[in-house]
Amino acid sequence: MFQSRTHTCNELRITNVGEKVRIAGWLETFREVGNSFAFAVIRDFYGRTQVVIEDAELFRQAKSINKESTVAVEGYVRERASKNPKLDTGEIEIVPEKIEVLGKCRYNELPFEIARSREADETQRLKYRYLDLRNPEVKKNIILRSNVIAALRKAMIEHGFLEITTPILTASSPEGARDYLVPARKHPGEFYALPQAPQQFKQLLMTSGFDRYFQIAPCFRDEDARGDRSPGEFYQLDMEMAFASQDDVFAILEDVLPPIFAHYGKYDIASEAPFRRIPFKEAMERYGTDKPDLRIDLEVQDISALVRGTEFAPFAEENTVKAIVVSDCSLTRKNIEKLCSDVEVQAGMKPYWFKVEENGELAGGVAKFLADRRTLLGSVLDLKPGTLVGVAAGKKDAARKTAGVMLKMLGAAVPGHMKRERYEFCWIVDFPMYEIGEESGELEFCHNPFSMPAGGLEILRKAECGEIDPLEITADQYDLVCNGVELSSGAVRNHDPEIMIKAFEMVRLGEEDVKKKFPAMYNAFCYGAPPHAGIAPGVDRMVMLLAGEDSIREVIPFPMNKNAQDVMMGAPSRVEQKQLDELHITLVEENE
């Protein structure tokens, strides 16, 4: 019968000297000193304790135990002669009377060294994730995640929000990504879908008379992985407020998030309310992105008119030319060329550059094409010796994107232009309601079709009769950005059926299409819906920022790989023919 431990492996202190204790955990190390003397370290969830084996019989027994076996050690606490200030239990050690194997590790060699698992190949780490998680450095991110979620939940409840769970099995709905479909056994040929977000359900809750809703919501999207996005599933702090405006939503998150970021984050400084608000168009012009990192003091400037007429082809009249002016730049030519190559990989377009010499002359990169514009450029851009100017030239959108990527890389690479150790929040507002689709060439919703157009029904009617360009219509839609990472999109919802129909008519969908695609929400709104607004910051992304990690997989207990595979559990996998038959599914093999 297993006897409960008296202490954890991080609990014993100098005040426990002389006590008989029992600890349990994993055998992390076993170091022999002579023929019958050894040091062992036992590790559990809480920490580590050193065990000193001086008995010959116990030495032989312990020597035969493979590392990472679970053991119980019973003995007396004594003061260490050589103390370890790096260990919480570093003033004491246990001299055992008894060592019991509770769970034997049957392998002499591990896939990787537990303490250095983060250095292992990612596939091995994911395959043996249960071993990877034994590493305290890996485990601490999961502990952080739990603490952050608890703090978010507490803060939302204190702000009067009611936690309500919404269905996992639901209907397929166009949310912008591919659905994960679940065949319905009792309804052959029909499918449930896993929710891409609880969007419709939370809006229906507002229509049902609930005032403030939230949940730590699981969301499922069949999309490719990125550094800040996990394939398959993710979690978000989903919230919605009835009788609320954009300002009401902002006020809640500006009160909830900064204390949590400052308390749990790698950095202890976070933006205070109110967060800076930047219109979408302004963000694209000044930062080259709608996800600006406001820790960086650099901005994008348009120099198209200044370089027009030069012999450099990319500066041709039909192109847009953007510049990033970086003062006091000590990067070498080699460093600059490497940075430009990295920008090209990420942005898909090659950037250019030139520097200002001590004598005021332009040098390097495209300087020879701008020699006759030196005085003009210097005056308009306020160029001083030691200044680097990064340049992006091409079609407007491509030039802005390239400039945005270059700005972020230069801000991180050149000392003095980035206040790293802080969390800088901002709101991106006034997103366009519509855009021209790349594939269709026709008017389409730019983001969320459920957003309220700024100006309501009147602005849609003006666009319908040609008084204004539909592309000029903005939505009461907003993004929350922190340190260059988009945490969430949100919006004031379109709760009026008449406005909703008109908004969809702009993209060639009529009332019947809306009723067919969104029957529950459309019908519910016809019974008197309150104005409502919401947002849903990504939990995984927040924890990634707080932990200072570059990959979101580091803060997820059991993440999939980049190909949406769970290599530990072997998912996705084939199933038995009997299961397929029950679901009325026939597999069709692809032609080789």
The pLDDT of residue 592: 54
The pLDDT of residue 590: 75
Residue among 52, 3, 54 at smallest CA distance from 24: 3
**pLDDT (mean) for 379-388:** 94
Domain stops at, among 418, 445, 461: 418
Asked whether residue 233 is domain-assigned, the answer is no
Asked whether residue 554 is domain-assigned, the answer is no
447 and 369 housed in the same domain? no
Amino acid at 315: F
At 242, phi and psi to the nearest 5? -85, 155
pLDDT, tens only, 334-353: 999 999 999 999 999 999 99
509 and 463 housed in the same domain? yes
How many domains does the chain contain in total? 3
More confident residue, 228 or 496: 496
CATH code at position 385: 3.30.1360.30
At 476, phi and psi to the nearest 5? -80, 70
34 and 59 housed in the same domain? yes
370 and 450 housed in the same domain? no
Please state, rounded to an integer, the average pLDDT across all residues of the chain.
Answer: 94
CATH code at position 68: 2.40.50.140
318 and 398 housed in the same domain? yes
**pLDDT (mean) for 412-438:** 94
The pLDDT of residue 449: 84
Asked whether residue 457 is domain-assigned, the answer is yes
- End-to-end Cα separation, the chain, in angstroms: 58
**In the structure, what pLDDT confidence band is assigned to residue 55 with cuts at 50, 70 and 90?**
very high
pLDDT, tens only, 4-48: 899 999 999 999 999 999 999 999 999 999 888 999 999 999 999
The pLDDT of residue 322: 97
327 and 409 housed in the same domain? yes
Asked whether residue 583 is domain-assigned, the answer is no
385 and 341 housed in the same domain? yes
Domain stops at, among 389, 418, 447: 418
398 and 343 housed in the same domain? yes
Q: For the packed helices 333-347 and 396-413, what is the interaxial angle rounded to 10 degrees?
A: 130
**In the structure, what pLDDT confidence band is assigned to residue 440 with cuts at 50, 70 and 90?**
confident
Range of the domain at 58: 14-103
453 and 402 housed in the same domain? no
Would you tell me how many other CB atoms lie within 10 Å of the CB of residue 329? 23
The pLDDT of residue 464: 87
At 218, phi and psi to the nearest 5? -80, 135
Domain stops at, among 88, 103, 118: 103
306 and 333 housed in the same domain? yes
